[in-house]
Structure 1
Amino acid sequence: MRKVTFKEYFSILFGGLWQGILWVLGLFGYKDENPFGKVVKRIFASCVTVLMLLFTGCVLFAFAKQVVYNEFIRPHTNNRVWEEKYISNHIVFQEMYYSDKNRVFDKNEQKVLLEDVDWVVVSDDKDSLAVYARNGKRGYINRFTGKVAIPEIYTRAWIFSEGLAAVEKDGELLFIDHSGKVVIDKDFQVYFHDPKYAFKNGYCMIKNPVDGKMGLIDRAGNWVLNAEYDYLFNNEGFWQVEKDGYVGLYTSKMDLMFPVENSAIFVDDSIIEVRYTNHTAKRYDYNGNVVVDFVIDEVYNMQYETTELRNDMEPSDSEFVDNKIYGIANCQQYMVRGGTYNNSDYYGLLNRDGKTVTPPIYTSIKAIGKDLYLCQPDGVIVNDKGKIVH
């Protein structure tokens, strides 16, 4: 079989192309004998040839750049690191330039320990094992040596906390120890929306996979709070829960401290402040003893408009300030904050001795006389003894 030379190949190629052009142009009535037709055919053939050469060049350039260079040349000539995240003193997670896959690297030994790693996350409590992802699976590495401690066999995995880690395998939520042994297998399932699993003071929050309601399990996997709460979190060692808009508090030993019947609870600086649904508030110490029996957030003096007018004003001042005379009411207005962004503030009356005249049951109070006050939302008028007079 005779070999075809390079010149013969292109002669046949362009000959075939020329015959194709003649056939197409023949459909429009051009004849070889017509000089004008011959010129048009040659111009057309030249343009098509140039376009084909350009197209072929673009294809070859794209192939060389995306396949040949990226796959065969760049990995051997470009080994730069884009960003490093320390896993321990000398073990780092490196994100590489021009690569979707990254690596775990030993800076002391200048040695790659684990290739093609997507990400690595270290526990908040600096556990010895860090979770990593590779090839769509999750596993754990020893962050001090960089060696794989538990291979990537899990669909999803979370950081170790208090010696245990949550993993998902075959659709089940399990908890394992540092050896990879399953220590909690209670038919739990992962809640699809923003799942987070970590032990805190001996307990871990679990969500109902159907409705997302929250509960707590202990280290044996037993329920200590059933998954029935809308919100649940650890607050300075206490467990705060919310259900149907009401808030309660459990101690670190899961003893009920305040039932789920309050509008808000704040824990800070050795003080627990409870906002009740009757708009009052009290402060307690961490043992549940009352520290402040009646919390008031702010106190205001109130002015009322008298029937007298000022006569010492310049004419120009009256454009900006009225000439009415105001008096100071007998009672002060105090405010108790609602506690949360969707709860309104409420107001009550104090006498000059600091004693409460009315509870904080009004949305606003306005002095309309020395001893009379218009209180909303009902629009009642109260005197300085707290009695409704109209």
Structure 2
Amino acid sequence: MKLSVTETNDNIQILKNYFIMKKFIIIVIILGLVVAGVVYGLKRHSDKYADKEEISENVTRVIEDGKMSLVDSQTGKVLVGDLDVDWVQCADGDSLAIFAQENKRGVVNLNTGKVVVPATYRRAWVYGNGLAAVEKYGMIGFINTKGEVVIDFKYPFKGNRLSDFIFSNGHCLVSYKIDKEHQRLGVIDTLGNWLIKPEYDDIETFKDHVIVMNNGEFKKMYDYNGNLLHDNLIDEIERLEYSKTFINVQTGLPENSQVLNEDYMAYRVNNNYGLMDKSGRFITKPIYTNIQGVTPTVFRAGVSGYWSSSDVLIDSKGNVLQQIKD
């Protein structure tokens, strides 16, 4: 069978188109692989070197290639660039932030990028009411927004339960040395004056009042003018039970059962317990680690000592009847 010249040319053209299309497909595949490789490489670089953290409502911390920048969370605009620091922290909406550099603390303005206070302090806390707490030689003082010390370094950082020193509603909870060995908690205002004198083992601060307590005593509520609002505050009342022996009418054998004490209860203040009667009268102060019923009018109470702990038996008047040693 012979093909005409026209048919031969058509077949040649089909073959040419086939090879052109095949070449085009190969080029597209190669370009796709190249683009995918570039994207993968960029992603690996980003995952390896970039770290983002929103440190306030408006500011995001970005770490890339070992350098930190502070950028606007909405626009991505760089506020502060090339900071060789460990971390930055501020209160929500505040333009002044605490930064760490070589294990020291300073203050930076997030809007201008200006370092307000060089990294010179061992510890620092975020601003509240225009003041920030800073630690120097183990003592806490307060600086203003210009970095000036306005409340001197006289509040111990260690030796108390406090971990945050931040002003709120014009007051701040601090610890104060009353002698060489003992500290007490109190509350100061933004001028460093005592609103609540340092006389307490524990203080809970609220917007308009505080609840204070000394170990083994009742809680009390004061306002910030020192007026007593409530006395003898407790945290919880617990019902007491005691063991009573009954004779089983079916077996004739004695059986023990727990009976609810209707006349006496234990109350709790923090982690300490005391005894009270059903009228709400406090029989003992909250000086025991626990209280359990023994009989309707005898109770076993835990006593915590400096070196050891033991229990005692007390009666319904709070008198100690006997010491129990394990």
Q: Would the TM-score normalized by the shorter structure come out above 0.5?
A: yes
Is contact 1:165–1:198 with CA below 8 Å preserved after alignment? no
Cα distance, 1:127 vs structure 2? 5.8
Cα distance in structure 2, aligned partners of 1:127 and 1:217: 15
Cα 1:309/1:300, change in 2 over 3 Å: farther
Please name the residue that 1:213 is paired with: 139
- 1:1-390 map, 5 Å: 99-100=65-66, 124=91, 126=93, 157-160=106-109, 165-168=116-119, 173=120, 190-191=121-122, 195-196=123-124, 199-209=127-137, 212-217=138-143, 220-224=148-152, 226-230=154-158, 231=162, 233-234=165-166, 236-237=168-169, 238-243=171-176, 244=182, 246-268=184-206, 270-311=208-249, 323-329=255-261, 330-337=263-270, 345-377=271-303, 379-390=311-322
Counterparts of 1:346 and 1:105 in 2: how far apart (Å)? 50
CA distance 1:235–1:347, shift in 2 (3 Å): farther
How far residue 294 of structure 1 moved from its aligned partner, in angstroms, is 1.2
Give the unaligned 5+ runs of structure 1: 1-73, 138-154, 174-189, 338-344
The answer on whether the counterparts of 1:299 and 1:333 sit within 8 Å (CA) in structure 2 is yes
Structure 1 position 101, deviation (Å): 5.4
Structure 1 residue 356: Cα displacement: 0.6
Measured in 1, the distance between the counterparts of 2:194 and 2:115 equals 26
Q: Does the 8 A contact of 1:166 with 1:197 survive in 2?
A: no
Is contact 1:117-1:132 (8 Å) kept?
Answer: no
Contact 2:125 2:165 survives alignment (8 Å)? no
Confirm or deny: 8 A CA contact 2:89 2:126 kept in the other structure.
no
1:31 aligns with none
Answer yes or no: is the 8 Å Cα contact 2:124–2:135 preserved in 1: no
Aligned partners of 2:55 and 2:90 also within 8 Å:
no
C-alpha displacement at 1:374, in angstroms?
2.4
Higher strand fraction: Structure 1 or Structure 2?
Answer: 2
Residue aligning to 1:43 = none
TM-score (norm 2): 0.58
Q: Is the 8 A contact 2:98 2:124 kept in 1?
A: no
Alpha-carbon separation, structure 2, partners of 1:308 and 1:91 = 72
Structure with the bigger RCO (C-alpha within 8 Å, sep 6+) is: 2
Aligned counterparts of 1:346 and 1:111: Cα–Cα separation in 2: 55
Answer whether contact 2:127 2:166 (CA < 8 A) is retained: no
Q: Which runs of 5+ in 2 are unaligned?
A: 1-37, 177-181, 304-309
Report the TM-score when normalising by structure 1: 0.50
Q: Structure 1 387/227 Cα, relative in aligned 2: closer, same or farther at 3 Å?
A: closer
